[in-house]
Structure 1
Amino acid sequence: MRFFVLNGAEELGASIAAALGHAPAPHEERDFEGGEHKARPLTSVRDEDVFVLHDLVGDARFSVNDRLVRLLFFLAACRDHGAARVTAVTPCLAYGRKDRQTKARDPVTTRYVAQLFEAVGVDRIVTVDAHNIAAFQNAFRCETVHLDTRRLFTPTIRQLANGRPVTILSPDGGGIKRAQLLKASLETDTDMKIGFGLMEKRRSRGVVSGDLFAGSVEGTVVVIIDDMIVSGGTILRAAEACREHGAASVHAFAAHGMFDSAAVRLFSTDAIDSIAVTDSTAAAARAKTAFPAARLDIIGVGDLIGQAITRLHSGGSIADLLGMEE
């Protein structure tokens, strides 16, 4: 097996490598004048089971598009040089939010990205908490492996609850299934009393609307669950509604902390008691550094991904790893 970590994903790569029990394989990335670049493995990949990790969240140096192209080119190079199987490991998959047409002549970008991965010969793609799991699985013709963070969040939620009743709340209609699955997982793995709630949200041309609030949160510890936090507007809107309906405390959980400059509101508001994300992208650590006083907890996802890679390489069960029902 060969496990490569492209530039920009080193911290998560080190965590995954520790779970695998060996260091990442060496590779080279070079930039050329005019903005072009190349990347290549520095060890043989012929007849090897190759896994390539990259962080597809843009930063000040590399855009999402640049990171995606670098990953695609490296995957193609591994295929060209005889890899037996090539797996892309993208914990936060780019362009997952545009998975259907909602306006005239809209693109379906999730499908286009899938076609790019397939075009360079990828056999399998591994991601964590896709924006829409059905759209993710249906977009790809190659094998897809979807890892979720429910069990990673359970110890923190149990600690926050401290014996008090908990309400799991979806901040919009699209996240209902995610919230239901977290609720079911908590009920299976703990003895906590779990309620359920929903905040209505509609977005059109950048304008967010919808005031429906369903569920009883009065006196409970509310856990708002989403797949990602970028500006934090959706989370903040739901948190403020929970406060208005009498929540004892409000905590935000998301797999991917993609915080942009607008997310400063989350780190200063009294509506949210704490925020928990994984280290699926380096953006979370950058936010923690930029706002050292922020009530931000970063939960490691490297061991989960490392265990998944080990099982995929050896033919083990991903369902058992995730605690899925037979």
Structure 2
Amino acid sequence: MEENSKTVSVTQKKKVHLFYCLDCEELARKIAAQSDLITLQSINWRNFADGFPNLYINNAHDIRGQHVAFLASFSSPAVIFEQISVIYLLPRLFVASFTLVLPFFPTGSFERMEEEGDVATAFTMARILSNIPISRGGPTSLVIYDIHALQERFYFGDHVLPLFETGIPLLKKRLQQLADANNIVVAFPDDGAWKRFHKLLDEFPVVVCTKVREDDKRIVRLKEGNPAGYHVVIVDDLVQSGGTLIECQKVLAAHGAVKVSAYVTHGVFPKHSWERFMHQNNEGSEKAFEYFWITDSCPQTVKAIGNRAPFEVLSLAGSIAEALQI
């Protein structure tokens, strides 16, 4: 009886045809390597003479009746239109189901509605994605990792089914491998990070920092917890310039942390701001950060920094492969 139940569970798994944008080719190959049920498919990413996309989906007839997914990276406004064009077409090719994997929802970090006239770009992007055509299998499944603001979960309409995943399990697995795994404290740079992640990391002692305004400056201070004598790991969803993380590290070190590391799911790092974290360049400190963990949700960053100390890339490939079976 037990053997029959195992057979049923295996046959229920989906064979998925995975398309991907050019930036995500390396991640797509890692995802396909996770399972024999995932087959990579290709798109000809060409342009007309005027610069507009001239796209062709290979093997379009072969994916009829099949489960199809697209791995996207909206790394800049310039590449969004061509990917949206593909995303809107794939569900209409008589596929059994369609899943969009967008590991990093980029506009979410710029949602600052403080006065009349501010444009809600995250809401606009959510509306665009909410209008993906319905496939034969129903609404599109939309897989996103560690979306920046909790309210953005409710921006999506009824024509998509958002599946919100997190990279935190990758961090926890990596922390278990450290020699000082029993001496870890998790720090959050602000209350927002604490709200997003503290329930996922409740087995660790916690330190919370906060930003206060003094004159024209915003200064990071210790709000609660004791970092003294611990290896402190700062956890947040994303990093841009990295200024807050650096100030947080200084505060933790001043309060007795023996080591400070950092984890962010999305290493955005515009204008090569990751360079300020390199051990040889870190503002007079050889090793201000022992480790700096990111995922491969931002493929251009991964290509730029690789695994150069203190950076380590924790791949989302296994997690995405599992999400494609949901």
TM-score (norm 2): 0.82
| Per-residue CA distance 1:216-267 (angstroms, 9 max, x = gap) | 1111110100111232112111111101111011010111222332221111
Question: After TM superposition, what 4+ stretches of structure 1 lie above 6 angstroms from structure 2?
Answer: none
Report the CA distance between 1:35 and its aligned residue.
1.6
- Paired residue type of 1:98: F
State the match for 2:85 in structure 1: 73
| Per-residue CA distance 1:270-316 (angstroms, 9 max, x = gap) | 32111011122223322325xx752111112101101110x22xxxx
User: Does residue 298 in structure 1 map to residue 298 in structure 2?
Assistant: no
Q: How does 1:151-230 map to 2 (within 5 A)?
A: 151-160=169-178, 162-184=180-202, 187=203, 194-201=204-211, 208-230=218-240
Structure 1 unaligned blocks of 5 or more = 58-63, 188-193, 313-326
Structure 2 unaligned blocks of 5 or more = 1-15, 135-139
Query: Partners of 1:172 and 1:103 in 2: how far apart?
Result: 23
Q: Which of the numbers 146, 155, 160 marks the counterpart of 2:164?
A: 146
Q: How does 1:35-74 map to 2 (within 5 A)?
A: 35-43=51-59, 44=61, 45-57=63-75, 64-74=76-86
User: Does residue 130 in structure 1 map to residue 142 in structure 2?
Assistant: no
The residue matched to 1:71 in structure 2 has which SS? helix
| Per-residue CA distance 1:20-40 (angstroms, 9 max, x = gap) | 324311322211122201323
State the match for 2:116 in structure 1: 104
Higher mean Cα deviation, 64-73 or 163-172? 163-172
State the match for 2:259 in structure 1: 249
User: Does residue 273 in structure 1 map to residue 285 in structure 2?
Assistant: no
- Paired residue type of 1:119: N
Query: Partners of 1:238 and 1:156 in 2: how far apart?
Result: 22
- Paired residue type of 1:88: L
TM-score (norm 1): 0.82
| Per-residue CA distance 1:77-134 (angstroms, 9 max, x = gap) | 21343334322111111201134512332222211101111223262211111112x3
> Contact between 2:221 and 2:248, CA under 8 Å: does it hold in 1?
no
Q: Which of the numbers 5, 13, 16 marks the counterpart of 2:31?
A: 16
> Contact between 1:161 and 1:221, CA under 8 Å: does it hold in 2?
no
Higher mean Cα deviation, 41-50 or 252-261? 41-50
Report the CA distance between 1:195 and its aligned residue.
1.3
State the match for 1:324 in structure 2: none
> Contact between 1:224 and 1:251, CA under 8 Å: does it hold in 2?
yes
Between the aligned residues of both structures, percent identity stands at: 23
Query: Partners of 1:104 and 1:304 in 2: how far apart?
Result: 40
Q: 1:305–1:207: structure 2 CA closer, same or farther, 3 Å change rule?
A: farther
- Paired residue type of 1:90: L
RMSD (CA atoms): 2.2
Query: Partners of 1:130 and 1:154 in 2: how far apart?
Result: 19
Query: Partners of 2:45 and 2:300 in 1: how far apart?
Result: 21
Aligned residues: 292
> Contact between 1:259 and 1:283, CA under 8 Å: does it hold in 2?
no
State the match for 1:34 in structure 2: 50
Q: 1:117–1:41: structure 2 CA closer, same or farther, 3 Å change rule?
A: same
> Contact between 2:23 and 2:300, CA under 8 Å: does it hold in 1?
no
